[in-house]
A and B are shown apart, each in its own frame.
Chain A
Amino acid sequence: MTTTYESNIVLSSKEYDVLGTRPIRHDGHDKVTGKARYGADVYPTGLLYAKWLRSPHAHARIKSVDTTKAEALSGVQGVVTGKDLPETLVEPGVDRTVTLGELSTDLKYLREGILARDKVVFKGHPIAAVAAVSPHVAEEAVGLIEVEYELLPPVLTAPEAMKDDAPIIHEDLETEELGESTGKISNVAQHFQHKLGDVAKAFEEADIVIEREFNTSTVHQGYIEPHTCTADWNADGRVYIWNSCQGPFNIRDATAEVLDIPLGQVRLTPMEIGGGFGGKFEPYGEPVAALLSKKTGHPVKMVMTRSEDLECTGPTPGSFIRVKMGATRDGKIVAAQAHLAYEAGAAPGSPVSAGAEAVFAPYDIPNMLVDGYDVVVNKPKTAAYRAPGATNAEFASETVVDELAEKLGIDPLELRLKNAAKEGSRKADGVRYARIGCAEVIEAMMEHPHYTAPLAGPNRARGVAVGYWMNAGLQSAANIAVNNDGTINLTEGSPDIGGTRASLAMQAAEVLGIRAEDVHPAVADTDSIGWTFGTGGSRTTFATGWAVYEAAQDVKRQMIERAAMIWGVDKDSLEMERGVIRSEARRQVTTQRTAGTDRYRSVLHHHEEPEEPELSMTFKELAEQLNATGGPIMGRGSVDPKGVGAAFAGLIVDIKVDPDTGKIDILRATVVQDAGKAIHPSYVEGQMQGGTAQGIGWGLNEEYFMDKEGRMANNTLLDYRMPIAMDLPMIDTVIVEVANPGHPFGVRGVGEVSIVPPPAAIANALHRALGIRIDRLPMNPGAVVKALWEQSK
């Protein structure tokens, strides 16, 4: 069933039996026949439907909430408001911190984001929710709730919010300055700095210095399945939740924290997930549905509308970025400085620290100074989005690197290769790299025929950019049970968002020498597997993969022990390779009888021919004997791996731009990425292509178009314009494999980094096509025409 294309190349570094092949994914048939059950496909008996009441204002005090009329409507069974959520302060003004995905947040902000109590801080901020017999009745009832507001002026961008006279969004938010609390109340939650070498001196000594400012718009993850959850507060006090999420344990724990109940009281069952890209790590409806279920005695389902999803769930931040880079005449980058101000949205916690780590990470630069600012604004609280923080930052730095190359008269990839980060290079945060594939990615781009292919015709040009993402490790657990037919049941806790059942099953199969098809992988609920951090940070195939590897090794050890016992030989004389267990020793039944007990003798008997040339059994043959020789074998793996492999990707893109309308068309795209080891190359390619498409959307069209009052004017998928099939060409891929020394199979994460290069690569191509440099995202037709107009002045 293997399908390969010339346009998809794997530069494989090490061959395996199962890894690197392309089996049909285990959940595939369910997903092409409509049988797979996603978040909203849950219909427990007695189900009620709930809807939110949301603030029409971006910044206002709530003076009163009157739910009387809503409660009186026929078919309404329960109403909750912010007052129904318990206060969980550990001391006045101080709340617990909870970790959610790649970001962490103060519990107070989480709780107030779920249902506002005194103040609304973004348009769409939930205030109340109604459970009723149908979604239509719930919607009608929501319209009957009366809220009195005192309007406050909204502040919508980081530079505005940082002004001394800006309206204050959180009256108790003290600015943290370089790790110290300042006592100053402002919209700047945090300012931090990374410093390496002496940047001022290095700029003085540089032959060329370029400094530019950039603005990027808020964009959304845009998964096709809106947020949804169903909760049932059971009569025994347990809270059952079914939802669509990336982090079942993250959301279980956060929901328990918000409800102020022990986390074990909640059981979260992750249904199939319809995309997430970082946006499904936080609870939005779960605590609300749980409270409504407790109130009504019925299970309660909540499904966001698309507009709610766009206006009220974590987008990724808009940002203001200043980048300054200096190089010598021969193309050595000697100094780099960045100022990054990211919009956190309505509560602190933007991914600016990741942006600060990423901004110059593809390069070995001796002198760096990076300042990061986490700034609250009256927009929805941001959440992770595929390499959160990196795309904004590297759009800026990769544009400046391109300008350096242009001014120095050096090929842009040659300049990048000359300065490429390698093993031992320090990032801005001071951390040294282990073995990485940055140079190998750039070399593969230079060698690819696309880079040197002729590109004829007016207003057409080629651009390149590279990108870095850190990837994540964190905790994962896996269990394996051996079936008597030689197949195995693999239980793990990572929701499968893009083929990870396959990439995990394949790692187990490789260890045990069985086929990927002999593994039955299942994503468990939170009662049925050890704590597993969510599917995000490109971590599932890496970290859960490692847990699966350990579980498979555990099975292998036990299988060897069982075979030794059956054969009556020393287990150290056994080895298991490619699914066959062999012993160097000949059968020593007479001396080693003590290894077995009487009831196993009949099983042992047929092996006792003295002429047997060697002791050998397949995995399956041994599996058939397990019940008769001591019972089932189960393996377990539990990991918290530290050897996370940094990821690099590069994009070569050809564009055609219409100078009259400003519209940019993508003609050809080739994405190169270091996977470490591509377990299932088709799904690695899929991540590379999907990330590239999202990066193209971010670069060309996507933005939150906010009016002055802080309302999103384009809150549908017609107006929030994500790429459609017509917008894109085939996206060719090259998988580079520079093994990650921190994983048994060399795996790096592959999910995120491909989103980083496209905006800069397109901007760099646009410069070559028309001579204009765009300093803002998106580069939509209006922005291109404006830049052309300014150029002509």
Chain B
Amino acid sequence: MPTKSHVQTRINGENIEFLCEPRQSLLECLRDVLQLTGSKEGCNDGNCGACTVNLDGRIVDSCLVLGVEANGSEITTIEGIATPQGLHPLQTAFLENAALQCGICTPGFLVASKALLEQNPNPTEQEVRFWLAGNLCRCTGYDKIVRAVLDASKKMGASV
């Protein structure tokens, strides 16, 4: 009897199929099976947000989703945010605003922030802080992260 399940997904715009054990989380599948190591494990119990991915238009902690649950879904990870043409404005804003120190939480913050700006292109500081409350950063005190998201929002608005 096979011990692994077959999962069909679309990840960062590509059709991807993989085999996983029923007990493996989506985070484990992304990292250990697919080598998409940009999503990070910080707590493995949904409290830090370092593994945030976009699953069918919603941001989720990928450590709280089973790999098999992702069958048939569309996933965007940190590896899918930049395009061959260049960085996403949020990524540029994080660099220009020095919004990362160690950088381990950065993938989660970027995936979450991108979802915020897609829903609310002009958030206030408080809206940014509320949206990002599920992502822990221990280095920055959040100041420069919040500035970066507001900066990206402004620049994306200006470019439309």
Contact = CB atoms under 8 A, between A and B. Distances in A.
A33 B42 CA distance: 18
Interface stretch (A164-172, A514-522, A560-568, A722-730): A722-730
Interface in A219-266: 221-226
B146 A730 contact: yes
B104 A32 contact: no
A274 B142 contact: no
B138 A275 contact: yes
Nearest to A41: B37
A222 B138 CA distance: 7
Contact of A224 (B24, B95, B105, B110): B105
Contact of B95 (A25, A38, A274, A686): A25
Interface residues of A, number: 63
Contacts of A682: 97-98, 144
Interface string B99-121: 01111111100100000000000
B108 to A, nearest CB: 9
A32 B91 contact: yes
Nearest to B38: A34
Interface string B122-159: 00010011101111111111111111000100000000
Interface residues of B, number: 61
Nearest to A7: B143
B42 A224 contact: yes
B56 interface: no
Contact of B23 (A35, A136, A274, A691): A136
Contact of A728 (B42, B134, B142): B142
Contacts of A693: 140-142
A29 interface: yes
Given A33-B38, A33-B81, A274-B104, A726 B141 contact: no
B69 interface: no
Contact of B97 (A3, A221, A692, A716): A3
A481 to B, nearest CB: 26
B95 A689 contact: no
B144 to A, nearest CB: 6
B102 A273 contact: yes
B102 A275 contact: yes
Contact of A717 (B24, B47, B125): B47
Interface string A17-59: 0000010110111011111111011010000000000000000
Among B40, B50, B103, the most chain A Cβ lie within 10 Å of the Cβ of B103
Contacts of B31: 40-41
A37 B37 contact: yes
A190 B106 CA distance: 42
Interface string B19-60: 001011000000110011111111111011010000000000
A498 B102 contact: yes
Contacts of A690: 101, 138-141
A90 interface: no
Given A32-B110, A34-B38, A277 B129 contact: no
B95 A28 contact: yes
A305 interface: yes
B143 A32 contact: no
A410 B137 CA distance: 39
B133 A725 contact: yes
Interface string A279-317: 000000000000000000000000101100000000000
A277 B139 CA distance: 9
B53 to A, nearest CB: 11
A731 interface: yes
Contacts of A510: none
Interface string A674-687: 00000010110111
Nearest to B126: A726
Nearest to B107: A34
A285 to B, nearest CB: 15
A275 B48 CA distance: 14
Among B36, B141, B147, the most chain A Cβ lie within 10 Å of the Cβ of B141
B2 to A, nearest CB: 16
Given A29-B95, A33-B78, A722 B144 contact: no
B100 A497 contact: no
A327 B94 CA distance: 49
A43 B143 CA distance: 35
B62 interface: no
B102 A33 contact: no
B95 A277 contact: no
Among A27, A31, A41, A276, the most chain B Cβ lie within 10 Å of the Cβ of A31
A37 B103 CA distance: 10
A306 B42 contact: yes
A306 B142 CA distance: 21
A453 interface: no
B17 interface: no
A428 to B, nearest CB: 31
A347 B37 CA distance: 36
A33 B96 contact: no
Given A224-B50, A725-B145, A272 B103 contact: yes
Nearest to B37: A41
Contacts of B125: 730
Interface in A451-480: none
A32 B100 contact: yes
5 contacts: A224-B105, A275-B102, A306-B45, A692-B141, A717-B43
Interface of B: 21, 23-24, 31-32, 35-45, 47-48, 50, 77-79, 81-82, 87, 91, 94-98, 100-107, 110, 125, 128-130, 132-147, 151
Given A682-B144, A690-B140, A731-B141, 8 more contacts: A33-B79, A33-B81, A136-B23, A224-B105, A691-B141, A694-B138, A717-B47, A724-B133
Interface of A: 1, 3, 5, 22, 24-25, 27-29, 31-38, 40-41, 43, 134, 136, 221-226, 272-277, 303, 305-306, 497-499, 680, 682-683, 685-687, 689-694, 716-718, 722-726, 728, 730-731
5 pairs of A and B residues whose beta carbons are closest in the complex: A34-B38, A274-B104, A693-B141, A498-B101, A31-B103
